[in-house]
């Protein structure tokens, strides 16, 4: 992304605000947003919990349409997606803002900017320019990531339509806090998603993330029903969600409600933002969690954010032969043959080409 951030006046001149989708008008110039399960009722002159959807004169506007806060060609493994076009690159974008306020957010500098500093920052970039940048950088997909794509849905959707027409895939990296209607609208052109399942306790979601659990579980089920390829990530935080019981509950939910073929990524926690009172996740604790997932019947369980070779490799669930080897965010070996194990012929779940 060339150049620096633009001031508020420059942004308004270059790119007028976009009227939001998924809201209704109410008496007294109030608006009721239905994009996410917060269902904010927003008075004139105010914004919702995300800080980027504002009621102006009884009309709800997206304040971040066309305003990119981050744009980079990333390895698809960074999302992380391990069973979706491995070794490819994904043009990754975000705006500021989020509908959660996770105490452990690693991207809080942009996700919480509207909430904490009441700032909307970003460089002007049209959907057409995003698609062109993705093509120019040799990416096979566009990922809506870093913050929460739900809160910039209008921008993501318009970009995804153009991306699909240009032969690019579309990816959400999301907290899963979205209502059914927008998810159903984008589903025909949304190819894959990595969805956080941060805990199986509603109390944790409410106290630590500023959300609630059940809508996330509902969205996970809907992603599967809509035939979008999904992978699930859990940040394993010492003393918060790392008990055997809770990890087993997450693994069983994935197995029973989503399917044993859905990959589960277990990511190591490092102290950051408002959660600096806990130690980093020891690698042996991640491996313990991985074993819980495997013993629960999940086919593919990965450990990330730690420097232990082999924990992010893909093995055949039938003969256990190593098929895809990864180091960092790179693929160093891919021995799949037409999406199958070259040794026993077992079909390996995923989107490979």
Q: Which pLDDT does position 16 carry in this prediction?
A: 67
Q: Which pLDDT does position 6 carry in this prediction?
A: 35
184 within a domain of the structure (yes/no): yes
CATH number of 245's domain: 3.20.20.70
Q: Which pLDDT does position 353 carry in this prediction?
A: 87
Number of domains within the chain: 3
* Tokens representing residue 86 in the block: 């491995």
> Domain containing 71: what range?
67-307
Q: Which pLDDT does position 192 carry in this prediction?
A: 98
Does this model's pTM top 0.75? Answer: yes
Q: Which pLDDT does position 326 carry in this prediction?
A: 97
The DSSP string of 100-155 is: ---TT-TTHHHHSHHHHT-----EE--HHHHHHHHHHTT-SEEEE-SS-GGGGHHH
90 and 28 co-located in one domain: no
Taking only the tens place, the pLDDT of each residue in 246-277 is 999 999 999 999 999 999 999 999 999 999 99
Q: Which pLDDT does position 8 carry in this prediction?
A: 40
Residue 231 bridge partners (DSSP): 194
323 and 232 co-located in one domain: no
Listed residue (352, 348, 289, 337) closest to 315, CA to CA: 348
299 and 197 co-located in one domain: yes
216 and 152 co-located in one domain: yes
| Among 62, 78, 106, residue at a domain's last position | 62
Q: Which pLDDT does position 172 carry in this prediction?
A: 98
| Among 273, 290, 307, residue at a domain's last position | 307
Q: Which residues of the chain have pLDDT under 50?
A: 1-14
- How far apart are alpha carbons 111 and 346 in whole angstroms? 41
317 within a domain of the structure (yes/no): yes
């Amino acid at each position: 992304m060339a150049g620096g951030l633009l001031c508020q006046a420059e942004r308004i001149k270059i790119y007028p605000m976009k009227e939001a989708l998924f809201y209704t008008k109410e008496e007294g110039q109030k608006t009721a947003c239905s994009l996410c399960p917060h269902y904010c009722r927003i008075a004139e002159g105010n914004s919702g919990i995300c800080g980027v959807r504002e009621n102006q004169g009884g009309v709800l506007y997206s304040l971040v349409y066309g305003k990119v806060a981050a744009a980079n060609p990333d390895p698809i493994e960074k999302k992380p997606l391990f069973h979706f076009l491995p070794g490819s690159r994904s043009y990754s974008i975000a705006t500021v803002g989020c509908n959660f306020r996770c105490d452990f957010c690693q991207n809080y500098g942009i996700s919480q900017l509207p909430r904490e500093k009441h700032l909307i920052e970003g460089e002007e970039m049209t959907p057409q320019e995003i698609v062109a940048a993705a093509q120019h950088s040799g990416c096979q997909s566009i990922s809506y990531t870093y913050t929460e794509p739900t809160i910039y849905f209008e921008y993501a959707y318009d970009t995804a339509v153009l991306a699909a027409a240009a032969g690019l895939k579309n990816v959400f990296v999301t907290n899963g806090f979205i209502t059914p209607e927008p998810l159903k609208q984008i589903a025909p052109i949304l190819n894959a998603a990595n969805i956080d399942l941060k805990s199986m306790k509603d109390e944790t979601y409410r106290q630590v993330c500023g959300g609630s659990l059940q809508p996330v579980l509902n969205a996970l089920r809907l992603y599967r029903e809509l035939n979008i390829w999904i992978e699930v990530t859990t940040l394993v935080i010492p003393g918060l969600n790392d008990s055997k019981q809770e990890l087993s509950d997450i693994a069983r939910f994935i197995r029973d409600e989503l399917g044993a073929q859905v990959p589960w990524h277990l990511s190591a926690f490092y102290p950051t933002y408002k959660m600096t009172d806990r130690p980093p996740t020891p690698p042996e604790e991640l491996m313990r969690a991985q074993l819980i997932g495997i013993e629960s019947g999940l086919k593919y369980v990965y450990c990330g954010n730690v420097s232990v070779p082999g924990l992010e490799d893909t093995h055949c669930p039938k003969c256990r032969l190593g098929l895809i080897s990864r180091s960092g965010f790179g693929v160093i070996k891919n021995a799949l043959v037409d999406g199958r194990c070259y040794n026993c012929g077992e079909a390996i779940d995923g989107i490979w080409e």
